[in-house]
Amino acid sequence: MKQQDSFFQKRIKPIIQHKVFTLVCLYIAMVLIFTVWAALRGTSFLKVAIFRNILNSLVVSSFLTMGAGCLLIAGHLDLSQAAIGAFGSMVLASAIKGWGLPWFLGVIIALALCAVFGALNALLVSKLHFPSFIGTLAMASMVKGLMYLFSSLGNNGIASNINFVDKTVTFIGTGAVGGIPVGVIIMLIFFIIYGLIISKSTFGMKVTLMGGSPVAATLAGINANTIMLILFINSAVMGGVAGIFNAARLSQGALNALTTNQFTGLTAAILGGISFGGGVGGMGGAFVGLLILNTFQIGMGIVGVNPFWVNVFSGLLLLIALSFDFLAQQRQKRSLAH
């Protein structure tokens, strides 16, 4: 009896108490609701093809989520991520089309440019002490302007999308291996790596400690500026990866790439339990958060809800998730108040 108790305490209880467990339960409930709802409407939801679709729809946003999520754990925001990513997609397209470079060089150049913008973000926040909200908002505007200037070079001054043809890039964007889309495979590998980094590595430990209290972490020898530099560069580069996937799917570097995904990364991260104040959460939660968000949207489409309403409900979903987070924090504070 006693042994069972300790087994429950040690193994089962932490799993049940974990935030991700609640999210997974929520997800399962959502799938069940859609299954029943779809059946009532005379269609079906619980099908392999639909889940492949859902996973495939996560790919572009997932990289934004990983970048934004890591940064959010450290207590910072990056509002320029989507703009930087779009610029990355334009650079890749012109590298292939205009400069005639092989695709991998295009990818390297695009990501390197993104990294530079990320480093500038870090500089604004850590050295010039702008709040990350303001610093990266300004950066978003500048990057967008630069992207338009870039795309209008040698084009009579008119900014435009750039179409390109490259078999490998198209395969990465739209191909499949053994029935599983290549993008999904890459996404899952990235999630596992990022999950391990955040929850198991010394770097991840420093990130969460810094998110918990930047002052205390700095005074205990954690170099907050270095961590911020890495995370802002990471966020921008992941924005670039998302932009590249977007370009690969459309065979086009698009000026308005990622505009619909602009806040998806952040939303999924928050939905997945990464606290807005920093210091809490991980990649597992972020993944489930993203899954919930997209399953919700696709499910709503299948049961035939007006897409405009779907946006309204997505917003409500985020509010509900945030209030759970808020209530949990309040409860924790109150129980420690004596």
Partner 1 sequence: MAKTLEFRGIGKSFPGVRALDNVNFKAEGGKVLALLGENGAGKSTLLKILSGDQPASEGEILVDDKVTAFHSPHDAQAAGISVIYQERQLMPSLSVMENLFAGALPKGKLGLVDKNELYAETQKIISEFGLDIDPAEEVGRLSIANQQMVEIMKAYRRDSDIIAYDEPTAPLSEKEIELMFKVIEKQKAAGKAIIYVSHRMNEIFRITDEIVVLKDGRQVTTLQTKETSEAELIKSMVGRDIGDTYSNLRRNTPTDDVILEVRNLSTPKVKNVSFQIHKGEIVGLAGLVGAGRTEVARALFGADPITGGEILIEGKPVRFRSPREAIDAGVALCPEDRKEQGLVMYRSIADNVAMPVVNYLKKGLGFVDRGQAATLAERAVADYAIKTPTIFKLVAELSGGNQQKVILGRWTSEKVKTRLLLLDEPTKGIDVGTKAEIYQKICDLAREGIGVLFISSELTEVINLADRIYVMRGGSISGCLPRAEATEENVLTLAMADETGDAGKRKEGRA
Secondary structure, 3-state, 130-142: CCHHHHHHHHHHH
**Nearest CB to partner 1, comparing residues 25 and 216:** 216
**Facing residues of 252 across strands?**
163
Nearer residue to partner 1 within complex by CB, 9 or 306:
9
Distance in angstroms (rounded) separating the CA atoms of residues 125 and 76:
9
Q: How far is the CB of 232 from partner 1 (least distance, A)?
A: 19
Return the exposure string of 41-70: e unless at least 16 CB atoms fall within 10 Å of the residue's CB, then b.
Answer: eeeebeeeebeeebbbbbbbbbbbbbbbbb
Which pair of tokens denotes residue 65? 């989520």
Interatomic CA distance for residues 35 and 52, integer angstroms: 16
- State the Cα–Cα distance between residues 328 and 321, nearest whole angstrom: 11
CB of 202 to partner 1, least distance (A): 5
Interface residue list for partner 1 (CB under 8 A): 196, 200-206, 208-209, 212-213, 215-223, 279-280, 332, 335-338
Nearer residue to partner 1 within complex by CB, 8 or 313: 8
What are the residues whose beta carbons fall under 8 Å from the beta carbon of 242, sequence distance 6 or more?
A: 60, 61, 62, 63, 64, 82, 85, 258, 261, 265
Q: Which is nearer to partner 1, 280 or 290 (CB)?
A: 280
Shortest CB 47 distance to partner 1, Å: 39
259 versus 332: smaller Cβ distance to partner 1: 332
Which residue, 48 or 336, has its beta carbon nearer to partner 1? 336
The phi and psi torsions of 176 (rounded to 5 degrees) equal -145, 150
Min dist CB 14 to partner 1, Å, is 10
Please, are residues 115 and 233 in contact by the beta-carbon 8 Å criterion?
yes
Q: Among residues 208 and 295, whose Cβ is nearest to partner 1?
A: 208
Distance in angstroms (rounded) separating the CA atoms of residues 237 and 253: 16
Distance between CA atoms of residues 113 and 94, nearest Å: 13
Q: How far is the CB of 213 from partner 1 (least distance, A)?
A: 4
Q: Least CB distance from residue 77 to partner 1, whole Å?
A: 20
Beta carbons of 279 and 213 less than 8 angstroms apart: yes
| Bridge partners (DSSP) listed for residue 253 | 162
Residue 65: which of 334, 309, 256, 292 has the closest Cα? 292
Minimum CB–partner distance for residue 120 and partner 1 (Å): 22
Q: For residues 155 and 225, which CB has a smaller minimum distance to partner 1 in the complex?
A: 225
Report how far residue 100's alpha carbon sits from residue 103's, in angstroms, rounded to the nearest whole number: 9
Give the residue among 67, 65, 49, 37 at the shortest CA–CA distance from 230: 67
The least distance separating partner 1 from the CB of residue 223, rounded to whole angstroms, comes to: 5
Report, in Å, the least distance between residue 192 CB and partner 1: 13
Closer of 46 and 205 to partner 1 (Cβ): 205
